[in-house]
């Protein structure tokens, strides 16, 4: 991964999580086998969102447009390019979620849905079993990165609204009773 050395937290996240250049190569390699299934996965995902009373209200009347955006985002997961532009796009996704007041639990639940769905899609469509196993790990690490980048926009908003520093937020998050 080409991680900005100035972002110590992001560098640590990728280092500890194991996200590396090999993951980029693997996901790019399996992309042609997975991309044909992205539309169906998106349909399944939005069916689940529409069936949940809490999430349904956030997507009502916008499902088709949201599906297009979601498909474009998922296609990007298999591009093999996870540099600064990718990171900035994930952060913009976080900004949009905050701006339209999507609760963080919905991001976490959505990523959980994808973490559960993608391994099956990979197993069914990547016929090299060794590559498929590696690809699942790579994809899960990348989804974790996306969630981290989106989630930290919620923290940025909280810090800005409360006028607190990142160090104080960390301290508040780690205070034991």
Q: Give 78-128 pLDDT, tens digit per residue.
A: 998 888 899 999 999 999 999 988 999 999 999 999 999 999 999 999 999
- Given a cut of 70, whether residue 40 has pLDDT beyond it is yes
Higher pLDDT, 156 or 72: 72
What's the pTM? 0.90
- 3 pLDDT tier (thresholds 50, 70, 90): low
Calculate what percentage of the chain has a pLDDT beyond 90: 69
Residue 39: the pLDDT is 98
R_g of the chain computed on alpha carbons:
17
Which residues does 154 contact at the CB level (< 8 Å), separation at least 6? 94, 97, 98, 104
What is the rounded average pLDDT for all residues in the chain?
A: 91
Residue 34: the pLDDT is 98
Residue 156: the pLDDT is 82
Is residue 99 exposed (0-12), middle (13-18) or buried (19+ Cβ within 10 Å)? exposed
- Given a cut of 80, whether residue 2 has pLDDT beyond it is no
Place domain 8-173 in its CATH homologous superfamily. Answer: Globins (1.10.490.10)
């Amino acid at each position: 991964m080409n991680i900005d050395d100035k972002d110590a937290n992001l560098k640590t996240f990728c280092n500890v999580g194991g996200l590396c250049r090999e993951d980029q190569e693997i996901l790019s390699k399996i992309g042609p086998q997975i991309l044909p299934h992205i539309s169906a996965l998106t349909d399944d995902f939005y069916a689940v969102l529409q069936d949940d009373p809490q999430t349904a209200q956030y997507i009502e009347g916008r499902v088709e447009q949201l599906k297009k955006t979601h498909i474009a985002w998922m296609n990007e997961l298999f591009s093999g390019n996870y540099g600064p532009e990718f990171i900035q796009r994930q952060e913009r996704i976080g900004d949009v979620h905050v701006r339209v007041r999507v609760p963080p639990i919905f991001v976490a639940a959505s990523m959980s849905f994808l973490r559960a769905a993608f391994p099956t899609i990979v197993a069914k469509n990547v016929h090299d079993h060794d590559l498929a196993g590696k690809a699942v790990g790579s994809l899960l690490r990348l989804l974790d990165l996306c969630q981290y980048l989106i989630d930290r926009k919620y923290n940025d908003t909280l810090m800005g609204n409360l006028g607190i520093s990142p160090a104080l937020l960390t301290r508040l998050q780690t205070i034991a009773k």
